[in-house]
Amino acid sequence: MPRTRRLVNGEEKTAYHVMSRTALDGFPFGDVEKDELVKIIKKFSKLFFVEVFGFCIMGNHFHLLVQMFPEHYFKDKEIWKRCKAHYGEDFEVSGAKRNGSKLE
């Protein structure tokens, strides 16, 4: 049975419950995998402007409670800074020119 369409609110901060389950049989997430998943969640939440309120990682799935921020909350300079921190100093935006600290 198909799920109902999710409400996506692009104008204000919105909290979401995110759940993902592995397609593998059994319980593939052991302690090491769970620790690595937490590192990945922290890394990407910094890049994509997500605040993680809570999480639960189990043997074959996980739950996140996150708050998403609309794009108008952030300026180009902050986005550029986060991309550089994530991808490294050699990160470039295709077709964009960098003039000092300003993205053109």
Nearest to 58 by CA among 86, 26, 89: 26
Count Cβ atoms below 10 Å from residue 52 Cβ, excluding itself.
15
pLDDT tens-digit readout, 2-29: 777 767 777 888 899 999 998 888 899 9
pLDDT of residue 35: 96
pLDDT tens-digit readout, 58-96: 999 999 999 988 888 888 888 888 888 888 888 887 766
Residue 15 DSSP SS3 = strand
Residue 31 CA to residue 67 CA, distance in Å, equals: 26
Q: Evaluate if residue 101 carries a pLDDT over 70.
A: no
Residue 7 CA to residue 85 CA, distance in Å, equals: 31
Q: Evaluate if residue 102 carries a pLDDT over 60.
A: no
pLDDT of residue 85: 87
Architecture of domain 7-73: 2-Layer Sandwich (3.30)
Tracing tokens 């319980």 back to the chain, one arrives at 27
Domain ranges of the chain: 7-73, 75-104
